[in-house]
Amino acid sequence: AQTVTQSQPEMSVQEAETVTLSCTYDTSESDYYLFWYKQPPSRQMILVIRQEAYKQQNATENRFSVNFQKAAKSFSLKISDSQLGDAAMYFCAYRSAPYGGSQGNLIFGKGTKLSVKP
Amino acid sequence: DADVTQTPRNRITKTGKRIMLECSQTKGHDRMYWYRQDPGLGLRLIYYSFDVKDINKGEISDGYSVSRQAQAKFSLSLESAIPNQTALYFCATSDLGLAGGADTQYFGPGTRLTVL
């Protein structure tokens, strides 16, 4: 079974600085998808970024980018120019592809709580 | 209007009561999911449905049941609520995506359930 590990329960960053959140996963599959979701205090789950495992190029979305290391099974999220609104829980998630044993369901890590200091 | 809505947003109930959480979506997605979030545990899948006639158990389905009344509606029931079902519950939807690829799941705002 696939597992997702986020080893940093809490992180802190100064406003305007850069922070990297770690995520590792375990799988025997060769094709899959990885996601980062943000959960602010409003508790809404918001998609931040996603990465297809077959793509070598790292995904980017404005100030958010990932460092995807397939061989190391690592999928870190980098937030540049951190803003107060970035303060939230961040969850890393895995999904099999096309629709493997997990039938395409998301497997989540336990989350990293990010604080942004003004 | 929100694409995925959940009712109620907050609910307090007593042990042994039957309770239903409802989810509706206007995204036109075929796939719907129910997750549970506990502090320090992330989200875990309870049930999922790929269409109205296809319902499947997830990782933690014991004590829960679901009903897919229509493409747009997916309800989660606790037949006899117990205190350890106190949690934040999320509904999510997705479609197949391009060529069956990375269908992204979109989440509702969540329902905070407290069982006393």
What is the 3-state secondary structure of chain B?
CCCEEEECCEEEECCCCCEEEEEEECCCCCEEEEEEEECCCEEEEEEEEEECCEEEECCCCCCEEEEEEECCEEEEEECCCCHHHCEEEEEEEECCCHHHCCCCCEECCCEEEEEC
At B30 the pLDDT is: 87
Q: How far is A12 from chain B (nearest CA, A)?
A: 18
pLDDT tier at A4, thresholds 50, 70, 90: very high
At B109 the pLDDT is: 94
User: What is the number of H-type helices and E-type strands within chain A?
Assistant: 0, 12
pLDDT tier at B97, thresholds 50, 70, 90: low
Q: Does B45 touch chain A (CB under 8 A)?
A: yes
Q: To the nearest whole number, what is the mean pLDDT of chain B? A: 90
At A75 the pLDDT is: 97
pLDDT tier at A114, thresholds 50, 70, 90: very high
At A100 the pLDDT is: 47
The average pLDDT across B105-114 equals: 94
pLDDT digits (tens, 9 = 90+) for A68-110: 999 999 999 999 999 999 999 999 999 887 654 456 678 999 9
pLDDT digits (tens, 9 = 90+) for B37-77: 998 888 999 999 988 899 999 989 999 999 999 999 999 99
CB contact under 8 A, B104 and A104: no
Cα of A117 vs its chain's centroid, Å: 21
CB contact under 8 A, A47 and B106: yes
Task: Give the angle A97-A101-A107 at the CA atoms, nearest 5°.
Answer: 70
For residues A37 and A49, give the distance between their C-alpha atoms in angstroms, rounded to a whole number: 7
- B35 token code pair: 């997750």
A29: number of Cβ within 10 Å? 13
pLDDT digits (tens, 9 = 90+) for A5-23: 999 999 999 999 999 999 9
pLDDT digits (tens, 9 = 90+) for A25-67: 999 988 889 999 999 999 999 999 999 888 889 999 999 999 9
Q: Does B107 touch chain A (CB under 8 A)?
A: yes
Q: Compare CB distances from A43 to B88, B101, B105 and report the shortest one's residue.
A: B88
Task: Give the angle A13-A18-A22 at the CA atoms, nearest 5°.
Answer: 80
Query: A98: cis peptide before it, omega within 30°?
Result: yes
CB contact under 8 A, A98 and B102: no
Q: How far is A113 from chain B (nearest CA, A)?
A: 10
For residues B109 and B5, give the distance between their C-alpha atoms in angstroms, rounded to a whole number: 7
Which among B87, B97, B103 is positioned nearest to B34, based on CA atoms? B87
At B96 the pLDDT is: 65
CB contact under 8 A, A50 and B102: yes
